[in-house]
Amino acid sequence: MKELISMWKNTRMIVLTALSAAIYAAILIPFKGLVIIPGVTEIRPANVFPIMFGILFGPAGAWGAAIGNLIGDFFGTLGLISIPGFFCNFTMGFVGYKLWGKMGFLSANQEPSMRSVKQVVEYIMVSFIAAAACGVTGGWLADLMGLIPYAPLATILTINDFLAAAILGPFLIVILYPRLKKWGLLWVQVMDEKDISPKKTATLGAWILNAATIIGLVLGVAISTGVYGSASFVAGFGQGTSGGLGIALGILPFVILIYVGAFLSGGRPEWWKKGVQEEE
């Protein structure tokens, strides 16, 4: 996660953060009237951007998604729910660039230009995990704050974010990627090696992140809806209730593991060393 901090000393990364935030907010705002959960979320085709910006702009895309969502909240949904919103949008971009090219045999080991079926398949997988990670972290924090139960929010966030990213993302990347690469604006081109987390356990980290996300989402929904008894997680704390302390304690380890996995999944992906770096 070193690059999340070190990027702030890089002028081009700061500009990419501002650009990502501005584009995301500008597309979010017109759709504020298409509400799914009043005061919480709406139909959001703009959700294609956090994952896409994460893959293309790395940590700048993650910060830009979080800041852009917060700006968008000023136009109808600003409140305590903006806190989970900030973290879950950040997580989408963060997971996007941490997973691409690091999932072992599931990765295409190619640059994310969306010019091959393997790249598109990997993009869809990364989009689902990133959307689900947003659902897990955002749903957990909103539930913990007593704002909205985990199950409906985590489910809606996952589906809403995934559909926007999976349907629109490949087409936008086909258009944008070659231009960004030519201009030297990909995060792997902008950031120095010394400012990026070392890549020693990238594949292990990616699999930890994937597993924690999927298990956290499924288990959280099961606890929140009462399918799985939340009291199992609150022994010594009194009787748990769906959407209460059971969620807080039951899902916390998976939230932590999502970020642990992302931390372990450091470094530039292999496609950079094999392809783009050689071209330059």
Higher-scoring residue by pLDDT: 13, 196:
13
Q: Which residues pair with 42 in a beta bridge?
A: 35
3-state secondary structure of 198: coil
Lowest mean pLDDT among 50-64, 203-217, 223-237: 223-237
pLDDT bucket at 146, cuts 50 / 70 / 90: confident
* Token code pair at residue 192: 């120095």
Count of C-beta atoms within a 10 Å radius of residue 23: 15
Whether the predicted pLDDT of 277 surpasses 70: no
Q: What is the pLDDT of residues 14-50, one digit of tens each?
A: 999 999 999 999 988 876 555 555 555 556 688 899 9
pLDDT (0 to 100) of residue 240? 37
Whether 262 contacts 91, CB under 8 Å = no
Burial of 39 (0-12, 13-18, 19+ CB in 10 A): middle
Listed by start position, the domains of the chain span 2-197
* Mean pLDDT in residue range 236-240: 37
Q: What is the CATH number of domain 2-197?
A: 1.10.1760
Whether 34 contacts 43, CB under 8 Å = yes
- Rounded to whole angstroms, the Cα distance separating 149 from 180 reads 40
Q: Which residues pair with 41 in a beta bridge?
A: 37
Please state, in angstroms and as integers, the Cα–Cα distance from residue 253 to each residue in 59, 106, 174, following that order.
24, 25, 37
Whether the predicted pLDDT of 265 surpasses 60: yes
pLDDT (0 to 100) of residue 241? 42
Percent of the chain with pLDDT over 70: 84
